[in-house]
Amino acid sequence: MSIEPAADEVELRVNGDPRRIRVDPRVTLLDALRDEFGLTGPKKGCDLGQCGSCTVLLDGRRITSCLTFAVMHDGREVTTIEGLGGDPEGELHPVQRAFVDHDAFQCGFCTPGQIMAAVALLDEGHAGDDDEIREWMSGNLCRCAAYPNIVTAIAAAAGR
């Protein structure tokens, strides 16, 4: 006799769309986004919350989605890199445009998490100077060392 794992129904508003899933309560938000919704923008880098590649916005605030369970966020709004632009014409979000314009990526693996953290940083008002940007982006790692260009892109998106 096999025992079925427990499953909970969770409703999330993902990139503006209401979505309902049944998941094991141990499934992380990151795994639900990737495996249940097919959103591969948030990356599974370290699975420990140390690299920031899984950063998404939860009700407008940045979180590392690998450190939280999907069931904890029933009824909440999740925004991933896929939902950031939101423009039907395919226009990039100003932070995405700044990353392109300032060559703020190399391999691209960390870029979705970097951009989501940068959007939050700007919304939080933490782009006063380059040191402040570096401090507030310190939870997002880039193995290619594109940090100077990331800071420049964020400063540009902030209008500096």
Other CB atoms within 10 A of residue 32 CB: 24
pLDDT, tens digit, 9 for 90 and up, residues 36-73: 999 999 999 999 999 999 999 999 999 999 999 999 99
Q: Does pLDDT of 1 surpass 80?
A: no
Q: Give the integer Cα–Cα distance in Å for 155 and 160.
A: 5
The candidate with the shortest Cα–Cα distance to 51, out of 67, 29, 73, 31, is 67
Q: Which CATH class is domain 94-157?
A: mainly alpha
Residue 14, judged by CB atoms within 10 A of its CB (0-12, 13-18, 19+), counts as buried
Q: For domain 8-84, which architecture applies? A: Roll (3.10)
Q: Kindly report the pTM of this predicted structure.
A: 0.93
pLDDT, tens digit, 9 for 90 and up, residues 78-115: 999 999 986 777 789 999 999 999 999 999 999 999 99
Q: Strand 55-58's sheet: what is its strand order?
A: 17-23, 8-14, 77-79, 55-58, 61-64
Does residue 42 contact residue 33 with C-beta atoms inside 8 Å?
Answer: yes
The candidate with the shortest Cα–Cα distance to 116, out of 153, 79, 72, 71, is 79
Q: Scanning the structure block, which residue is given the tokens 């300032």? A: 102
DSSP category for residue 34: I
* Confidence band of 6 (pLDDT split at 50, 70, 90): confident
List the domain boundaries for the chain.
8-84, 94-157
